[in-house]
Chains A and B, each alone.
Chain A
Amino acid sequence: MSIEIKDLKKKYNGFTVLKGISLSVRKGEFVTVLGSSGSGKSTLLRVIAGLELPDSGQVIVDGKDVTYIKVQERNVGFVFQHYALFRHMTVLDNIAFGLRVQNISKGIAHFKARNLMALVGLSGLDHRMPSQLSGGQRQRVALARALAPEPKLLLLDEPFSALDARLRKDLREWLRRLHDRVGLTTLLVTHDQEEAFELSDRILLINRGKIEQEGTPKQIFNQPATEHVATFVGETNRVDGRAEGGWVKWGPLRFKAPDHIPDQTLVSVFFRPIDVYVSSQPEDGAVSGTIRSSRFFGALEEFKIVLGENIEVTAQVPKGVAQQSHFENGKNVYVLITFAHMFPRSNVPSKLPH
């Protein structure tokens, strides 16, 4: 099932939540809408499900306009943030519910529900009540329940946010495998970029009711289209400056301004800690600095490095390299920025992450 959304707009009490959202999801694709809380992503999902009406715009599913079609008739699987399991029904009845309301006999509905329980790894929990399940189990009941009426489209609203980190990772891998196996079209909404990167074929980054960028996880990470995308996805260093003669200077560092940025424009430069190359030997174009502090992240080590007079950059170095080069506080090192993005400064500067 493919979805196409055209120019959706929605207001709540005078506050515009969706400012004209257009997107499309191909059949069998796993697409994530990524955004911070209040960006309008949940509202978007609810409009697609039919739980809310847009003020204007269209929701087209398989070429058919369903904008004003009732929720019940959309055949959409929806997984709620807090699962919304039917608290007075057993696990089996929860999962069979979507079949039972279609007047499918109890026997067939329970048979199908048990098959789904096996698929999501809940076999044997038929007669448990939702309150007797762990968070991860509830999550899987919610998924199985949404899948039972065999929807062509699965909508997930922050489905992992209430789980602990370890479980979240396992369930993510499992969900992606399930998606590939069942051949669903899936639209996930989350604020967790790691989740978006790991699961999605494509990411739509939404900010204040507008889509800022869409692309594969790689494109979003490597070629952020806006300042907001650059700061929202992954950590980043930020420098504010002015383009002069094709360059932006910051202490001893120089960044090449792209051709489309005219001279004398106020710009912000972003570069990721992982794109800061650190060496103990002087290298061509590298700038000398001193390590001020370090943090250990397991696979990576992060250093705050002071360049020239009181300019600080954050660098992340693979554990092995850091060990080999004996990087430690107070050590003199050479720094090269290998990759940076530059945007003309927006009127309202966003918060500096570093």
Chain B
Amino acid sequence: MGGLLSKRKRLPPVNRKPLTTEAPWVRGLLIAGALLYLAFILFIPLSVVFFKAFEKGIWIYLQSFTDPEALSAIRLTLFVTAIVIPLNMVFGIAAAWTIAKFDFIGKNLLTTLIDLPFSVSPVISGLLFVLLFGAHGWFGPWLREHDIKIIFAVPGIVLATLFVTFPFVARELIPLMQAQGSDEEEAGMTLGASGFQTFFHITLPNIRWGLIYGVVLLSARAMGEFGAVSVVSGHIRGQTNTVPLHVEILYNEYNFTGAFAMSSLLALFGLVTLVVKSYVERRMRQQ
């Protein structure tokens, strides 16, 4: 092995012409253009968030989180996310499993429907639930009779977030499961594994990185969702305000430090998501 390597080292360097033959100034211009664009669209706005948040010093920054309304918004966002993640994870796995491993009538329709929340404006997604469960909606009278509140209450926020984020896991898993086929599951079954054993020992480990990737995207969206949640929330302070909604309220009240402090939380979470995502992507490629 060592001999081979040292021999290779002694070979004269090959003078290869690059496959892309653009002149250096063209390349420079393209790279500069791309960087400049990124700076304007991404870096500057992102740094403004942190700059504004810390403008009046770290003390004021930290104080904005002690405000009970801010705390309640953070709590609600985490609460909603904690409900949405497991539900949509289970749904995503079930949907991907159904689509990837079985043939049935209406499969294409189901695949298309899963993408629906991506193509529908979030505001409309929120409106759907108002039309269903609102005071004048289909189930409105029945809900009022039984004293159940969905719209302008936490259940509505959960529902809207569920709807908006349900494609993430399924989208991630369908191509993965299709590529893997069901050979390994069949092998497991011939070896005597039950359905549960097959799922937990074979299917789940095989899709774990795709699943984590989907969940990361899902939770990022669940925490950041504004449009759909805004429609169903009713903006009741301390009760139905999530972090993005609270940012808007603070901003409208000219409490810029507070607004940007809350934004910095979301931005920070976004950055963490990116790091996790790129790590998971690398693991997926390695597999």
Instruction: Report which of B183, B194, B201, B205 forms a contact with A84, defined as CB distance below 8 A.
Output: B183
A347 at the interface (CB under 8 A from B): no
Closest to A131 in B: B287
A326 at the interface (CB under 8 A from B): no
Whether A72 pairs with B189 at a CB distance below 8 angstroms is yes
Q: Which residues of A contact B205 (CB under 8 A)?
A: 88-89
Q: Which residues of A contact B184 (CB under 8 A)?
A: 84-87
Whether A101 pairs with B192 at a CB distance below 8 angstroms is yes
Q: Which residues of A contact B191 (CB under 8 A)?
A: 97-98, 101, 145-146, 148-149
From residue A85, how far is it (CB to closest CB) to chain B in Å? 8
A side interface size, CB within 8 A: 27
Considering the complex, which residues of chain B in the window 169-190 have a beta carbon less than 8 Å from any beta carbon of chain A? 183-184, 186-190
Closest to A87 in B: B206
From residue B102, how far is it (CB to closest CB) to chain A in Å? 14
From residue B284, how far is it (CB to closest CB) to chain A in Å? 12
Q: Secondary structure of the A side of the interface? A: loop
A76 at the interface (CB under 8 A from B): yes
Q: Which residues of A contact B188 (CB under 8 A)?
A: 86, 97, 101
Contact count A vs B, C-beta below 8 Å? 65
Q: Which residues of A contact B287 (CB under 8 A)?
A: 87-88
Contact with B along A115-157 (1 / 0, CB 8 A): 0000000000000000000000000000001101100000000
Q: How far is it, in angstroms, between the C-alpha of A98 and the C-alpha of B186 when the chains are bound?
A: 12
CB-CB under 8 A for A97 and B201, given A72-B193, A87-B287: yes
Closest to A155 in B: B190
Whether A80 pairs with B183 at a CB distance below 8 angstroms is yes
A22 at the interface (CB under 8 A from B): no
Closest to B202 in A: A86
CB-CB under 8 A for A51 and B186, given A98-B191, A101-B193: yes
Q: Which residues of B contact A74 (CB under 8 A)?
A: 190
A35 at the interface (CB under 8 A from B): no
Q: Which of B184, B191, B201, B287 is most buried by chain A, counting CB atoms within 10 A of its CB?
A: B191
The 7 closest A-B pairs by CB, nearest first: A98-B191, A84-B183, A78-B190, A84-B187, A101-B193, A88-B205, A71-B189
**A residues whose Cβ falls under 8 Å from a Cβ of B:** 49-51, 71-78, 80, 82, 84-89, 97-98, 101-102, 145-146, 148-149
Interface pairs (18), CB distance under 8 Å: A49-B190, A51-B190, A72-B190, A72-B192, A72-B193, A76-B190, A78-B186, A78-B187, A86-B187, A86-B201, A88-B205, A98-B191, A101-B194, A101-B201, A102-B192, A145-B191, A146-B190, A149-B191
